[in-house]
């Protein structure tokens, strides 16, 4: 099973500033990569995913993540955050032939006015 | 469309009491089903997963158990709750062979053991 490391547990950021959340995973030839977002007292929602093809994937609300195979990373970015982006973000990884995802410990993003 | 239902939303139970949390999925068949727990500051911990009726895999030894009596029903139980069982419990499903779709999570149950 994959091991996933989210390097930052807490990220405070001002509104309209950029944010980057880092995610690294243990090496593997073929993986699926995901970012989930969790708002307080809610379940996790899929934000974006990488399966194959272009290494840059985007979500509908302005987030993007880039798959870097050589660095085994899948960092999440947003050029300008809103108050509503305050949430916990989880990176998840799976080998192609596995039954389940491996999750990082999560990064709490707090956006301040 | 597929939906996942998880209940109750919140639960306060005394130490030593039993527990039953239920999760059901609609609009799909033969899903893989999962139970996770979130404790404060500890991320997501996979407790159980199931790839079919009556097939349960346990990831972490504890006083919890899981059952899958029907294809789209997944139940988390305990005979006697401990204080350490407090947390946010999440059910999730994934289409069989559809790992690329990722999981769909339920809305969670906040369990407080007092």
The predicted structure's pLDDT at residue A110? 97
Q: Stretch B7-13: mean pLDDT, rounded?
A: 95
Which strand (E) or helix (H) includes residue A108? Answer: strand A107-112
pLDDT over 80 at B86, yes or no: yes
Q: So what's the pLDDT on residue B18?
A: 97
Q: Does A34 touch chain B (CB under 8 A)?
A: yes
Span A22-66, pLDDT tens digits: 999 997 678 899 999 999 888 999 999 999 888 999 998 899 999
Chain B contacts of A99, Cβ < 8 Å? 32, 49, 51, 99
Residue B16 pLDDT > 80: yes
Checking if the pLDDT of A101 tops 70, the result is: yes
Q: What is the mean pLDDT of residues B8-28?
A: 96
Model confidence pLDDT, tens digit, residues B29-50: 999 999 999 987 778 989 999 9
B20 in Cβ contact with B75 (< 8 Å): yes
Mean pLDDT, rounded, for B84-88: 94
- Contact criterion met (CB < 8 Å) for B99 and A94: yes
Give the model's confidence band at B61: pLDDT under 50 very low, under 70 low, under 90 confident, else very high: low
Minimum-distance CB partner of A43 among B42, B51, B90: B90
Test B103 with A32 for CB contact under 8 angstroms. no
Mean pLDDT of B59-81: 93
pLDDT one-digit tens code per residue, B95-110:
888 888 889 999 999 9
CB B102 to CB A101 under 8 A?
yes
Kindly state whether A109 is in contact with chain B, defined as any CB-CB distance less than 8 angstroms: no
Mean pLDDT of A60-86: 95
Mean pLDDT of the residues in chain A: 92
Tokens of B4: 């996942």
> Testing the interface with A: which of B5, B31, B103 to mutate, by most A Cβ within 10 A?
B103
B104–A101 C-beta distance less than 8 A: no
Whether A100 sits inside 8 A of B34 (CB atoms) is yes
Distance CA B88, CA B110 (A): 5
Q: Are B2 and B25 in contact (CB under 8 A)?
A: yes
Residue B48 in contact with residue B55, Cβ under 8 Å? no
């Amino acid at each position: 099973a994959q091991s996933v490391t989210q390097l930052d547990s807490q990220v405070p950021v001002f509104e309209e500033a950029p944010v980057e959340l880092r995610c690294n995973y243990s090496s593997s030839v073929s993986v699926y990569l995901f970012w989930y977002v969790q708002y307080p007292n809610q379940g996790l929602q899929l934000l974006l995913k990488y399966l194959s093809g272009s290494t840059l994937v985007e979500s509908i609300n302005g987030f993007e993540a880039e798959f870097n195979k050589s660095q085994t990373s899948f960092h999440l970015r947003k050029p300008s955050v809103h108050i509503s982006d305050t949430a916990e973000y989880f990176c998840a990884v799976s080998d192609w032939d596995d039954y389940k995802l491996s999750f990082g410990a999560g990064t709490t993003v707090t956006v301040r006015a | 469309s597929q939906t996942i239902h998880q209940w109750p939303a919140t639960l306060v139970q005394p130490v030593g009491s039993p527990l039953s949390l239920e999760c059901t999925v609609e609009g799909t068949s033969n899903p893989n089903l999962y139970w996770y727990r979130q404790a404060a500051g500890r991320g997501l911990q996979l407790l159980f997963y199931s790839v079919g009726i009556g097939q349960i895999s346990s990831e972490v030894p504890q006083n919890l158990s899981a059952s899958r009596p029907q294809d789209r029903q997944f139940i988390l139980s305990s005979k006697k709750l401990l204080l350490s069982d407090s947390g946010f419990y999440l059910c999730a499903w994934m289409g069989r062979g559809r790992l690329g779709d990722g999981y769909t999570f339920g809305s969670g149950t906040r369990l407080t053991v007092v």
